[in-house]
């Protein structure tokens, strides 16, 4: 009794399949669907391209960190603090 491997049965080996030829036969819509289903785990692909979510909005421009920090600081100084519902007590006050 002998067991036959996949190659002996006449099936192609996985190494013999040319992925590039298969991809060229796909339409643009099929490629888009395939890209949404595949989750590449490649460190050389930027993280935003590894995600299934793609935004169609245009970029708003470069981020100005100093301007952002100044704006946050200004807003923090202008907006009054909300009163605490339970006043703060330290451990010293409890003894």
What is the band of 17 on the pLDDT scale with cuts at 50, 70, 90?
A: confident
pTM of the model: 0.32
CA atoms within 13 A on the CB side of 71: 6
Residue 45: strand, helix, or coil: coil
Percentages helix, strand, coil for the chain, rounded to the nearest 5?
45, 0, 55
Both structure tokens of 54: 């793609």
User: Could you read off the pLDDT of 41-87 as tens digits, one per residue?
Assistant: 777 878 777 777 767 888 888 889 999 999 999 999 999 988 888 88
Residues 36 and 52 sit within 8 Å (Cβ to Cβ) = yes
User: What does the domain layout of the chain look like in residue ranges?
Assistant: 18-55
CA 2, chain centre distance (Å): 49
| 4 pLDDT more than 70 | no
């Amino acid at each position: 009794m002998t067991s036959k491997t996949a190659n002996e049965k006449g099936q192609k080996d996985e190494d013999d399949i040319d992925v590039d030829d298969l991809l060229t036969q796909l339409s643009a819509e099929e490629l888009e669907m395939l890209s949404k289903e595949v989750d590449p785990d490649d460190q050389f692909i930027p993280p935003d391209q590894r995600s299934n979510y793609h935004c169609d909005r245009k970029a708003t421009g470069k981020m100005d960190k100093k301007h952002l920090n100044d704006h946050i600081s200004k807003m923090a100084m202008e907006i009054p603090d909300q009163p605490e519902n339970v006043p703060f007590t330290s451990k010293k006050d409890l003894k």
